[in-house]
Structure 1
Amino acid sequence: MSPQRRSRSAAPCLLAALLLVSSAALCCRAEDLLASGARRGLRQAAQRVAAAAAGSPAIPTACINTGLDLQSSCTAELEIGSKALGLDPTADVSQIKVDIATLRNYLSKAPPPSAGCCSAAKAFNDAYCSCSPAVLDLVKSFTNNNIDQYREVARYLATRCKEVGTPFTAYIDNTCPKNKP
């Protein structure tokens, strides 16, 4: 499948990201999400992301592995965040528009992610995956060429994971070490 034709329903995973990462319940219940098939949709999206990443030798292996672990470890947060933002986890992401102000507002009210999600986020971060041009290109392919949402979620994770005992400095943009891809 060509990068332009790749299914785009994985974006909620990357936003959490890996984003819509990140998110926990405002007033939504996990049982509602499970009943709606969100878990199945996110699992399928993760498989598509894995296939896309595996097909790109430029993406560091550590980022493929820690990215998949991040998606898996943050599934509950992704489901709840997607639901709270009104995202259909099976929809074509090119049809989904999440205003950055709406995302910021949601993340400002969302509880901290789980310890498992934070541990996976730290591993992904500490592998300098958000410093990798290949990873960022993959993110762009799922976010309509805009990584602002990804940045917001990365900041959310770095900030809120401290609350669950997993502090880390987000390596993204100008905080990336010069010798790390």
Structure 2
Amino acid sequence: MSSKETRLWHAVILQAITDATLPLDVRTLRERLDRQRARDWFLMNDDDYRAACYRADLDPDRVRRYVLPLIAEATKLDLPPPERKSRKPRAPTGRIIEHNGKAMTLVAWAIELGLSKQALYDRLQRGMPLAEALTKSPPRKPRRRATTTPGVGQHRAKSIHDRHIPSAQETPKLEIF
């Protein structure tokens, strides 16, 4: 392995050591998870960890013997994770649409009709009457049928004066025995 690759893997190991040996005292969940994953990487001693050490030209067991006491010290300074604030249930913020004795939001109507919210919104934006937008089934695109016969294709001519010439594509008859 080249010296540049070895230095790169040294940097990977060093960053993991830095992350693993810092206390879990951060407020953002992402940083906290990154630090915990770095700790787990050293604690698990799995194939990925060992491969990274070998690529950095380091002895994985020696690195672990160095890092584990540092992780233990950092763990003493860990703060508990911040409590998640419970969210109050929110009323739907969308406009309530009344039709045929039902009052629902645009999203609820879309679910009721089996449409996407965007499709229903587009119908109303194009000026489709509300009654038609809320009762009309989604437009179906016609299936495209094959226009050529199986085995027959169109070959482009190589010259601009030539025209398209249909040709049969023969399937070779194979006899195994």
Q: TM-score, normalised by structure 2?
A: 0.30
Higher Cα radius of gyration: 2
Larger proportion of helix: 1
> Which gives a bigger RCO, structure 1 or 2 (Cα 8 Å, sep 6+)?
1
Q: TM-score, normalised by structure 1?
A: 0.30
Larger proportion of strand: 2
